[in-house]
Structure 1
Amino acid sequence: MGACRLDAGGICGGCLRSSTEIAQWPRLGDAARRQMMDTVLAGRTRDRYRFLGALQERHALRAVLHPLQRPPAGHGWNRSELDDLLPPSPLAEAAVLVGLVPRAGAGTQVLLTLRTDTLRQHGGQVSFPGGRIEPADAGALAAALRESHEEIALDARQVAPLGYLDPFLTSSGFRVTPVVAAVDPDYVPRPDPGEVADVFEVPLDYLMAAEHLRQVHIHYAGRPRSVLEYDWPGRRIWGATAAILYNLRRRLEEGA
């Protein structure tokens, strides 16, 4: 499908299908696909990602995310806000990892990073691990996993992909595809000092509560605009990161 990459065992690390199953997928009917997902792929998921069972929100998330087999198309759900800011040339494709960490006794946590002040774009801001999709990447999922490994040494075997959120556009000219995934709570972050100043977690329940998100009205590039923002002790979570979390909340609320 152009987005799968097989491991040494002949299984795609993202969708957990074999090469034969990938080739057969377009010819299967909905009932056959559902049967495979509920039996074969569910079993492989349990075997490979045992920590996924501790993520209480996994079923609700899978019901509302774009499936791994069909990355979302479209111009970005916030296009109307940025029409007058986007460059005339095609947007660069990027991907980020919305990592959800099931913590025993503390609930699900969202994995976030603080970018170093010296970075040319979005320096000093809170963000998800991720970056530009390179030609060698087999799609958004592969890029999000690669960037997460490069930035915070998160091993792909400690990431259980669940699906995609809607694409989001940035004023810097990127179309960002967020990949939602469970992350093994045993991971040990080792941030790349050239890109990441800190790695921290915020409870998902806090970020999904409407009262914790506010709109900040600004005047930028000739007209009024609004920016989404959370307050968290010692951290300002705003801009693209806050908007992606808002998109996650809305999809969970609306169930679609």
Structure 2
Amino acid sequence: MRQESERRLVAVEDISIDRIVTRLLDRPPVLSGREQLVPDWRPSAPPDRPPVPAAVLLALVERPEGYTVLYTERSSRLRSHSGQIAFPGGKLDPGDADAADAALREAGEEVGLLRSEARVLGFMPTYFTGTNYLITPVVAVVSPSAPFVPNPDEVQAVFEVPFARVIRKESYSTYSIRRDGREHRTWQIDHEGHVIWGITANLTRQFRDLVLGEGPS
């Protein structure tokens, strides 16, 4: 048991930015037709419109103690998903060049992240939600010169989780939610009073599995 734990620790320490890049797509994935998409949960009535393209930024923040992953707590004044934990991101606007452009724009609007301080590493496979959003996760290294500042209209708080914690399998539990009379589960991460669940926790877990070369859990 101790040897297995030591092997896991070495594996985490051996993870470099170069290794992460090799696990990512070098361009945004082509958006698939709806018939090829499987949502994270199935609503009782299928959507009557094409999926809405969206992007989120999974930011690996350079800190003296090591990399962290950036999260936001959505404003309690928002109509949807108020108070929930999320990655910076949102719908693609007509003026966005691609998913990376959209994710960086949203991060700038939400927490004051400067594009000049972000280096996009690549893209994860798209994530289709039961609410009909097709999300492209954008992974970037961020070297901030100043603290992130939440936009009070959209973001209540900003916090970071150590990359080493995100990588540890023991950091994850499951969260049950009931929609349309049916129960389904998502991943969950508890960190210093913040409960990360739903889409954000699922994307975090997918990133973790991708980095470690493990299949979907």
TM-score tier, shorter chain, comes to 0.7 to 0.9
User: Where does residue 65 of structure 1 map in the other structure?
Assistant: 24
Pair 1:224-2:183 in alignment? yes
Pair 1:94-2:94 in alignment? no
**C-alpha distance after superposition, 1:92-119 (max 9, x if no partner):** 1111110001211x11100111110111
Cα distance in 2, alignment partners of residues 123 and 99 from structure 1: 21
1 or 2, which has the higher helix percentage? 1
Moved more, 125-134 or 207-216: 207-216
Structure 1 pair 185/81, CA: closer, same or farther in 2 (3 Å)?
A: closer
Cα distance in 1, alignment partners of residues 39 and 154 from structure 2: 31
**C-alpha distance after superposition, 1:91-147 (max 9, x if no partner):** 11111110001211x111001111101111211011111111011111111101111
Which runs of structure 2 are paired with 1:45-56 in the superposition (5 Å)? none
Taking only the aligned residue pairs, the percentage that are identical comes to 34
Cα distance in 2, alignment partners of residues 121 and 151 from structure 1: 16
SS in 2 for 1:246: helix
Cα shift at 1:187? 3.5
Structure 1 pair 81/130, CA: closer, same or farther in 2 (3 Å)?
A: closer
Cα shift at 1:152? 1.0
Structure 1 pair 216/78, CA: closer, same or farther in 2 (3 Å)?
A: farther
Structure having greater relative contact order (Cα 8 Å, sep ≥ 6): 2
Q: 1:166, 1:247 within 8 Å by CA — same for their partners in 2?
A: no
Q: 2:88, 2:107 within 8 Å by CA — same for their partners in 1?
A: yes
TM-score (norm 1): 0.72
TM-score (norm 2): 0.84
Structure 1 pair 98/206, CA: closer, same or farther in 2 (3 Å)?
A: same
Aligned residues: 199
Cα shift at 1:235? 0.6
Q: 1:132, 1:143 within 8 Å by CA — same for their partners in 2?
A: yes
Pair 1:79-2:41 in alignment? no
User: Where does residue 166 of structure 1 map in the other structure?
Assistant: 125
Please say which structure displays the higher CA radius of gyration.
1
Q: Could you say what the CA RMSD is over the residues aligned between the two structures, in angstroms?
A: 2.1
Give the letter aligned to residue 63 of structure 2: R
1 or 2, which has the higher strand percentage? 2
Cα shift at 1:75? 6.3
Structure 1 pair 103/72, CA: closer, same or farther in 2 (3 Å)?
A: farther
Pair 1:190-2:133 in alignment? no
Q: 2:39, 2:130 within 8 Å by CA — same for their partners in 1?
A: no
Q: 1:63, 1:255 within 8 Å by CA — same for their partners in 2?
A: no
Give the letter aligned to residue 129 of structure 1: P
Structure 1 pair 81/189, CA: closer, same or farther in 2 (3 Å)?
A: closer
Give the letter aligned to residue 98 of structure 1: L
Structure 2 gap ranges (5+): 1-14
